[in-house]
Amino acid sequence: MSPWFARGMRRSAALTLAALTALTCLQPLPSHAQTWPTRPVQLVVPFVPGGATDVVGRIVSDKLAQRLGQPVLIDNKPGAGGNIGATMVANAAPDGHTMFIAGSPGFPNAAALSKNPGFDPEKDFVAVALLASQSMLLTLHPSVPVETLKDLVSYAKANPGKLNYGTPGIGTPHHLAMELLNTVAATDFVHVPFRGGAPMAQAVVSGQVQMMFGSFVVVGPQLKAGKLKVLGGSSKRGVTQAPEVPTIAALGYPDFDVEIWFGVVAPRMTPPAVVERMAREIHAVVETEEIKQRLLTTGYDPPPKLTSAEMDKLVARDVVRWSQLLKNAGIQPE
């Protein structure tokens, strides 16, 4: 090989390397994840302070702030059954600094309850990560002459329209769980909505209505005092705080599975790198022993670890599932 040719080859290789380096520098790097967040992150809760969604958000916010290096602020924006807060975040800048704490079934069934909720849970949001989940217990007033779920179904069919159930309102998890039981068991329990969980529980304890689905935090003390009796758990995963209670799915209704979930979602065009970073930090927080115990003692379970795409599918499933159930129950959007 001639010296001239060798020098040419070396020069060509150097130019090629320089060109490749320049092209690499021009490629979009996941800088969003490296620089975000640049200011406090706002987590909008669409209900008043002290409610379930608010409590879950506050349990994780401090630890999340430590990992993100910026304050994580809980911003309560109540109204219209959660639609005001959701609409606000749907229209927020998709830069990762404003996100939303969504809960099921309220978030996915918004369009089934309102003709104009102001947002679309699938089109306007991208799922980030779950924060917590919660199962419920099917409980009855002791005066109802049944001891098992099988007894309850038989009694209900022999006495159509005689048994009623309380809920905190139309479209709540308690309402949907009982309507699902009506569907899978072919029963006709009558709905009596109340303005909140406290009056619902008081009505069942007093015998004004016969039964309800309630969280362990609400019904546990009443069960211990003998003021209520329990027949089954709503979630296929069981109720962590009451592992001795069989699931309704295991009692002959394998399609019955109602588990409330709480999770963070962001405006749809939020950069994927930001979504992935936030999801990673949330997973790390809810997997710590401290946060697990705080969730459990407050009546919640640490959630399944879902990717953003998997949580998106969960939202889509619940949109179809709950809207169809409400339609079958004769509930029309207002």
DSSP calls for 137-182: EEEE-TTSS-SSHHHHHHHHHHSTT--EEEESSTTSHHHHHHHHHH
User: Which pLDDT band, with edges at 50, 70 and 90, does 58 fall under?
Assistant: very high
Q: 225 with 300, same domain?
A: no
Rounded to 5°, the CA angle 220-178-244 comes to 35
Domain termination site, one of 215, 233, 251: 233
Contacts of residue 274, Cβ cutoff 8 Å, sequence gap at least 6: 32, 33, 36, 95, 96, 266
217 or 251: which carries more pLDDT confidence?
A: 251
User: How much is the pLDDT for 7?
Assistant: 46
**pLDDT over 60 (residue 266):** yes
Question: Residue 219 domain-assigned?
Answer: yes
Helices (H), the chain: 3-26, 31-35, 52-68, 83-90, 110-113, 149-158, 173-185, 197-206, 216-224, 272-286, 289-297, 308-328
Range 80-109 average pLDDT: 96
CA angle 227, 229, 234 (to 5 degrees): 130
Indicate which CATH number applies to the domain containing 69. 3.40.190.150
Please state the pTM of the whole predicted model.
Answer: 0.85
Q: Lowest mean pLDDT: which of 5-19, 65-79, 270-284?
A: 5-19
- Whether residues 149 and 129 share a domain: the answer is no
In a domain, 5, yes or no: no
CATH number at residue 158: 3.40.190.10
Number of domains the chain contains: 2
Distance CA 104, CA 136 (A): 13
- The verdict on 224 and 152 lying in the same domain is yes
309 and 273 share one domain: yes
Asked whether residue 243 is domain-assigned, the answer is: no
Peptide bond into 3 cis (omega under 30): no
**DSSP tag of 247:** B
pLDDT at 23 over 50: no
In a domain, 114, yes or no: yes
Q: Are 85 and 112 in a shared domain?
A: yes
The last residue of a domain, from among 233, 267, 293: 233
Q: Do 208 and 294 lie in a common domain?
A: no
CA–CA distance, 90 with 117 (Å, rounded to integer): 11
151 and 103, same structural domain?
Answer: no
- Together in a domain, 147 and 68: no
Q: Does 280 map to a domain?
A: yes
Boundary of a domain, candidates 198, 233, 268: 233
C-alpha span between 275 and 36 (Å, rounded): 10
- Both 271 and 215 in one domain: the answer is no
Residue 34 pLDDT level (bands cut at 50, 70, 90): low
**For residue 13, pLDDT beyond 50:** no
User: Which range of residues forms the domain containing residue 223?
Assistant: 137-233
Residue 27 lies in a domain: no
Q: Are residues 167 and 149 in the same domain?
A: yes
Residue 17: predicted pLDDT = 45
Encode pLDDT of 139-190 as tens digits.
Answer: 999 999 999 999 999 999 999 989 999 999 999 999 999 999 999 999 999 9
What confidence score (pLDDT) does residue 15 get? 43
Peptide bond into 105 cis (omega under 30): yes
Based on the fold, state whether residues 164 and 126 are members of the same structural domain: no
Could you tell me if 50 and 124 lie in one domain?
yes
Q: Is residue 297 part of a domain?
A: yes
In a domain, 93, yes or no: yes
